[in-house]
Structure 1
Amino acid sequence: MNTKTKISVLILMGFLAVTSCGKKETAPAESTETTETSTEGEPAPTAAPTEENVLVVEGNDQMQFNTSELKAVAGKPIKLTLKHVGKIPKEAMGHNLVILQEGTDQAAFALKANDAKATDYIPESEKASIIAHTKLIGGGEEDTIEFTIDKKGSYPFICSFPGHVAMMKGVLIVE
C-alpha cells in the first residue's frame, strides 16, 4: 500500500508541476498584452468588425500574436497595424503578418518563405497567394498597411519568419 501511495503522490506532483509551469508562462503574456492594449486604447484582442476596419495585432518575443482571430467588413478599407512589443531585433525575432488567399497551404507557403530572406521572407513565387503583408519588423517597431477585401470569407494570416508559423497564425474573417 505504501508503494502505491508513493507512486500516486509522485504522479500527482508531476502533473501539478507540468500544469503549473504552463500557467506561469501564459499568465504574464496575457497580463502584458492586456496592459499594452489598454494603454494604447485599442480594441480587445479579437477585434469586431467596424465601419473603418481598424485592426491592431501585437507580436512578442515569445513568438505569439495577441490574437488568432480578426474580423472586418467586406468591401470596406482595412487598416491593419502590426506592433512588435518585444525587444529582440528583427534579425533574431522578426515578425510580419501575411494575409493569404483562402485555401492556401500555409505549411507549403512557410517552407518557401524560409528561403526568401532577401525579400524579408515573402517568397516571390507565392505572390498570387498573398492578399497583403506588413514589412518585417523587430522589437519596438510597427508597420501599418491598408487594403480591401471585397469577398466574404475566412482568410488565414501568418508570420512568415522561419519557424514562426507554428505558433503565429490566425484567421481574418471578412463578413
Structure 2
Amino acid sequence: MPAWLDKIKGGLGLAEEEPAEQTLLQQLDEATTLDRTQRVIGFATCVGIGLLLSFMAPMFIFRPTKFAAIYSMGSILSMCSTLFLMGPAKQMKRMFDGRRWPSTCIYLCALALTLVSALVFHSIFLCLVCIVVQFCAMLWYSASYIPGAQGFILRAVGLPDPDAAG
C-alpha cells in the first residue's frame, strides 16, 4: 500500500493500529488464562496439597530439616494457589504493593533460606530461625489485607501503632 494512502487513513482514524508492546507480566497473564472452573480446581488442588504438607510437617518436628522442607513446600503451594484466583500479574502487583513489599521480600527470602538451610546445609538451627522469620513475615503480610490487623498485632506485642491517631 502506498505511503500517501497510509497517511490519509491515519488522518481519518482508519489506520490499523499496531499492537502495543506487552510487559512480561501481561504476556504471562495472557498465556495463563483459565476459565472459572479451571481456576477453582487449580486453587483447590494447590491449597489442599499445601495445607496437607503444612499440617504433615509437625510429624517431622524431631527432624527439623525435613520439617523445614515439607513446611516450606506447603507454603509455596499455598501461595501459588492464589495465582489461580487472581492471575499472576495481579498477584505480583498486590504482593509488592505499598506496605506489603517489605513483608513479601522478607517472606520470600526466608522461604528460600529455609529450603537452602534444610536441603543444602542440613542446619537445624538455621532451619528453625528461617521458619520463625517465614511464619512472622507471612502473618504480617496476611494481616495487611485486613484493615487494622497490623495495628492489632503491634499492640498485642506491646509496640506502638504508627498509624494510630493520637
TM normalised by structure 1 equals: 0.28
TM normalised by structure 2 equals: 0.28
The structure having more radius of gyration, on CA atoms, is 2
In proportion to residue count, which structure has more strand? 1
